[in-house]
Amino acid sequence: MPIADLPVRPLGPADLSACLDLGADRGWPRERRKWSILLDVGRGFGVDAPDGGLAAVAILTRTGPAATVSMVVVAQRYGRQGLGARVMAHALDAAGDAVVSLHSTEVGRPLYESIGFVLDGGCSDHRGRFEGDGGPLSRPIGPADVRRVSELDTEAQGFARPELLDRLLFEAEHVHVTDHGYALGTVHDEVTVIGPVVAADEEQARALIRGVALAADGDLRLGVDDRFPELSAWCRSRGLAVHRPAPRLVLGGKPLPGKAEMRFSPYNQALG
């Protein structure tokens, strides 16, 4: 059967190893924890390769009225045969009436724009070792803070997402709060990824980043939303170099729910 005619099937946690191998085929890091979360909380779609493993994958994660498409990858040996578009179509069909967004590379952006996605800003990866500046610090979360974190997340996202938020809090090694913000630090392959950073203002966002970064004491990765160039400049001054931009696109150019001014950093580009 021609590769273009092979069926698209649902993926689940049992496909973790095959997903890791497919990503590695394209030079992606083997982020087991990230893939595991996505295959658990999202809906995966894949095409089995005739010679073993997976030929293509896409994952849709829907929470409330919003959905994110991520991990769209095709094996090198099966590139340019329409597999990416096929798994993407299944993911979009599963999204239903949700507002669908994704983070892309500049190389992949024209493909997504050709199927109706519209640029809506983006974020840039900052990586390195954080150098403290003596500014105010956030504090580790306590039992009395849990409800407030849920309220802040709902305000920022525009809807409640208790199951996903509980999973993210459980996975995080560091959960920090201020009076009007919260941030997570989750270790992936010995690098602490800071995000989401949700805060009422940039001063509190900096306090949250300081608190998590100093508690983690090692290599960091932080995606800073392009709406906050001053925060990006501050991160660079603290030793976090910009690694790459990731344009954010929204299907049909629809407005994303929630308060964008509170979303300083996503959990990661796959979950928003």
pLDDT band of 269, cuts 50, 70, 90: confident
Q: The tokens of 190 are what?
A: 């010995």
> Is the pLDDT reported for residue 90 higher than 70?
yes
Q: How many whole angstroms separate alpha carbon 31 and alpha carbon 108?
A: 21
pLDDT, tens digit, for every residue of 192-241? 999 999 999 999 999 999 999 999 989 999 999 999 999 999 999 999 99
Q: Do the domains spanning 3-97 and 124-245 agree at the CATH topology level?
A: yes
Q: Any idea where the domains of the chain sit in the sequence?
A: 3-97, 124-245
pTM of the model: 0.92
3-97 topology per CATH: Aminopeptidase (3.40.630)
Instruction: Count Cβ atoms within 10 A of the Cβ of residue 106 and give its class: 0-12 exposed, 13-18 middle, 19 or more buried.
Output: exposed
- pLDDT at residue 1 in the model: 63
CATH class label, 124-245: alpha beta
pLDDT band of 146, cuts 50, 70, 90: very high
DSSP 13: G
pLDDT, tens digit, for every residue of 11-70? 999 999 999 999 999 999 899 999 999 999 999 999 999 999 999 999 999 999 999 999
